[in-house]
């Protein structure tokens, strides 16, 4: 067999593949490891898609997506987050936020260009950078600083080779958020360096206590910002695979070129569903957000009571507790918890080396599951302590 | 004192304890207990029931029918007097005053169709000021208290991957 592409060959298969395979194949597991909403897509959204099939809307759309959907997306960003984009030439509908990530790096990077990535971070950024010939450079985030990006760390990471920074707030896996004030401190550094700011805002609607802020809302750097967002988390539409990119017209044009050759256009039924979501789905977002916030309160309270230090995150449906008090590594903790108590969570190390000492817990599940899972985690932790004391 | 958030949560899951509720709502546990006790005392919270899928259980013990009842309102008392007489029967599970051709709709439960028929003809129809009844037997239940109970729907499993990023 002839050798395949070296970058692909050298992509590290996730170190926790074994754990994932075991968890996904075990019976009777209660999972706090799921990276998607437990809610079904609201019924009226599903109906809109079902009707579209019957109406024969089964063809390609414009490469960028239907104009109706792009107009609604731009209106949505304007009304909710106060930033303006032109639906004609600054918006692009993608196959999930994931395609958006890929398009950004393919479009921006030349071989050897550096991209600043936060550690811990969502798992897809690093491979996308590598496959586009770029080089990831890491900034470590800490629980003490609520997993926020600080200006001094940003400054220190920027080199003449830096092309872009990849942000994801509210953050998977940490639940960390950035407020307007937090971003304001970074803006001069962004402005001076001129680097692109890729902002994955997929959890924007899952912001609690306070308003979500996009870096694009700062006029002086707006042209440097590329917004990635989508329908998966806000509207519980993960399986529909629909996202979008918002950025200046020139970048958008270049990314649309890539998109038109690799994708053609995002699925038509999903676009029609998304139109319905934006037109009539505000209420659904608010209901789901309220529910996530309540679950967050419950799980943070229970985990802290067990002695696993957990910040109360202001966004997403994840918490990222510190498990170092147990004396186990992240991987050991997760594997033993799964084997002994049949509770699945994700080791922090899945999200970068600085995820060590943490686990990612998803509370996109029922109160009852959260209660049972926390009871079993409590048992697990106290058994570990007893063992430690017996030594 | 009505604590709307507590009502919202208990309406969906009556098994949430005061401790659960206090954590979910970020409120003091003693205050939650107090609110619940007060709402129970004020008969705002009138009971804690279980949602049963009758397609699966008690199939031969339970026959349900909706009875539409036409009634003549009484001077000074309106419909309430007659309504309270009907609602007083244990066979009547729920009852509402409604718009449309009839005045009341009652969900009536009995062991057999015959039992329900007998109850309607011997009890409800005989009440003074009841003018007409119309009995609609339940064939199958699809949803109760917000929970889908129809075939295939009640077994809905979480089909997400157990772990994912």
The stretch B106-123 carries a mean pLDDT of 96
Any idea which residue has 């003809």 for tokens? B121
| d(CA A63, nearest CA chain B) in Å | 29
Q: Under a CB-based contact definition with an 8 Å cutoff, are residues A172 and A203 in contact? A: yes
pLDDT digits (tens, 9 = 90+) for B6-25: 999 999 999 999 999 999 99
Closest CB to A31: pick one of B23, B25, B162. B162
pLDDT range class, residue B155, cuts 50, 70, 90:
low
The answer to whether residues A274 and A343 belong to one domain is no
A228 and A370 within one domain: no
Using CB atoms and an 8 Å cut-off, which of residues 166-225 of chain A contact chain B?
A: 172
B16 to A294: CB separation less than 8 angstroms, yes or no: no
Are A232 and A335 part of one and the same domain?
no
Kindly compute the dihedral angle of the four CA atoms of residues A190, A195, A196, A198, in this order, to the nearest 10 degrees. Answer: -60
Closest-approach residue (CA) in chain B for A372: B20
Together in a domain, A158 and A215: yes
Claim to verify: residue A112 and residue A15 sit in the same structural domain:
no
Query: Are residues A25 and A48 located together in one domain of the fold?
Result: no
Residues A158 and A86 placed together within one structural domain of the fold: yes
Domain limits for position A70: 43-280
DSSP chain B: ---HHHHHHHHH-TT--HHHHHHHHT--HHHHHHHHHHHHHTTSS--------TTTSSTTT-EEEEEEEEEPPBTTTBTHHHHHHHHTSTTEEEEEE-SSSSSEEEEEEESSHHHHHHHIIIIITTSTTEEEEEEEE-----EETTEE-STTTTT----S-SB--
Q: What is the CATH number of the domain that holds A386?
A: 3.90.1150.10
ipTM associated with this complex: 0.85
Pick the CATH number of B63-144 from 3.30.70.920, 3.30.70.260, 3.40.50.720, 2.120.10.30: 3.30.70.920
**Chosen from A13, A28, A31 to mutate, greatest number of chain B CBs within 10 A:** A31
In a domain, residue A338? The reply is yes
Query: What pLDDT shows up at residue A24?
Result: 86
Residue pLDDT tens, chain A, 391 long: 999 999 999 998 766 778 888 888 898 999 999 999 999 999 999 999 999 999 999 999 999 999 999 999 999 999 999 999 999 999 999 999 999 999 999 999 999 999 999 999 999 999 999 999 999 999 999 999 999 999 999 999 999 999 999 999 999 999 999 999 999 999 999 999 999 999 999 999 999 988 999 999 999 999 999 999 999 999 999 999 999 999 999 999 999 999 999 999 999 999 999 999 999 999 999 999 999 999 999 999 999 999 999 999 999 999 999 999 999 999 999 999 999 999 999 999 999 999 999 999 999 999 999 999 999 999 999 999 998 888 7
Q: pLDDT-derived band of residue B58, with 50, 70 and 90 as boundaries? A: confident
User: Distance (Å, rounded) from C-alpha A204 to C-alpha A168?
Assistant: 9
What percentage of chain B reaches a pLDDT higher than 90? 75
pLDDT at position B87 is 97
**Is the CB of A371 less than 8 angstroms away from the CB of B164?**
no
Q: Residues of chain B with pLDDT > 70: what percent?
A: 98
Q: How many domains does chain A have?
A: 2
Q: Are B165 and A301 a contacting pair at CB < 8 A? A: no
Residues A245, A139 within the same domain: yes
Residue A37, helix vs strand vs coil: coil
Answer whether A124 sits within 8 Å of B165, measured CB to CB: yes
Q: Give the whole-angstrom CA distance, residue A106 versus residue A245.
A: 14
Task: Establish if A162 belongs to a structural domain.
Answer: yes
User: Does the pLDDT of residue B154 top 60, yes or no?
Assistant: no
Find out whether A117 and A129 touch, Cβ atoms under 8 Å: yes
């Amino acid at each position: 067999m002839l050798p395949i592409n070296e970058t692909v060959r050298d992509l590290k298969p996730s170190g926790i593949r074994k754990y994932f395979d075991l968890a996904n194949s075990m019976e009777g597991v209660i999972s706090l490891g799921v990276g998607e909403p437990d809610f079904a897509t609201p019924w009226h959204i599903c109906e809109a898609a079902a009707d579209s099939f019957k109406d024969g809307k089964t063809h390609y759309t414009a490469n960028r997506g239907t104009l109706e959907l792009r107009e609604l997306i731009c209106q949505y960003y304007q009304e909710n987050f106060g930033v303006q984009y032109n639906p004609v030439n600054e918006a692009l509908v993608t196959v999930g936020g994931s395609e958006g990530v890929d398009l950004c790096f393919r479009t921006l990077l030349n071989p050897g260009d550096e991209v600043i990535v936060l550690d811990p971070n969502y798992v897809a950024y690093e491979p996308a950078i590598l496959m586009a010939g770029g080089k990831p450079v890491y900034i470590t985030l800490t629980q003490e600083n609520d997993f926020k990006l600080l200006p001094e760390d940003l400054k220190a990471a920027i080199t003449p080779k830096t092309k872009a920074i990849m942000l994801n707030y509210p953050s998977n896996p940490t639940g960390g958020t950035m407020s307007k004030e937090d971003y304001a401190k970074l803006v001069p550094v962004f402005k001076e360096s001129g680097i692109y700011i890729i902002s994955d805002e997929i959890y924007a609607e899952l912001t609690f206590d306070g308003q979500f802020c996009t870096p694009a809302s700062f006029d002086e750097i707006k042209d440097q910002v590329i917004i990635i967002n989508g329908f998966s988390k806000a509207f519980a539409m993960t399986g529909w695979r629909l996202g979008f990119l918002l950025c200046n017209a020139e970048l958008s044009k270049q990314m649309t070129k890539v998109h038109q050759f690799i994708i053609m256009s995002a699925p038509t039924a999903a676009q029609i569903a998304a139109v319905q979501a934006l037109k009539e789905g505000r209420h659904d977002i608010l209901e789901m957000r309220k529910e996530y916030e309540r679950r967050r309160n419950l799980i943070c309270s229970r985990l802290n009571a067990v002695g696993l230090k957990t910040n109360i995150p202001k966004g997403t449906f994840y918490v990222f507790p510190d498990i170092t008090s147990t004396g186990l590594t992240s991987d050991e903790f997760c594997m033993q918890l799964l084997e002994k108590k049949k509770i699945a969570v994700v080791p922090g190390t899945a999200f970068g080396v600085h995820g060590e000492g943490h686990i990612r817990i998803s509370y996109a599940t029922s109160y009852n599951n959260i209660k049972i899972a926390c009871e079993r985690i409590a048992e697990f932790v106290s058994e570990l302590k007893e063992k430690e004391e017996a030594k | 004192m009505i604590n709307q958030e507590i009502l919202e949560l208990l309406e969906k899951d009556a098994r949430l304890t005061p401790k659960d509720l206090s954590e979910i709502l970020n409120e003091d546990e003693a205050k939650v207990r107090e609110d619940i006790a007060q709402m129970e005392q004020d008969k705002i919270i009138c009971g804690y029931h279980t949602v049963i899928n009758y397609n699966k259980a008690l199939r031969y013990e339970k026959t349900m029918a909706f009875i539409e009842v036409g009634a003549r309102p009484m001077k000074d008392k309106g419909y309430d007097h007659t309504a309270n007489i009907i609602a007083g029967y244990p066979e009547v599970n729920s009852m509402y005053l409604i718009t449309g051709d009839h005045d009341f709709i009652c969900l009536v439960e009995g062991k057999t169709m015959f039992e329900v028929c007998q109850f309607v003809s011997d009890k409800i129809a005989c009440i003074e000021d009841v003018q007409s009844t119309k009995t609609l037997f339940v064939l199958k239940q699809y949803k109760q208290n917000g929970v889908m109970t129809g075939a295939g729907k009640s077994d809905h499993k979480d089909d997400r991957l157990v772990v994912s990023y």
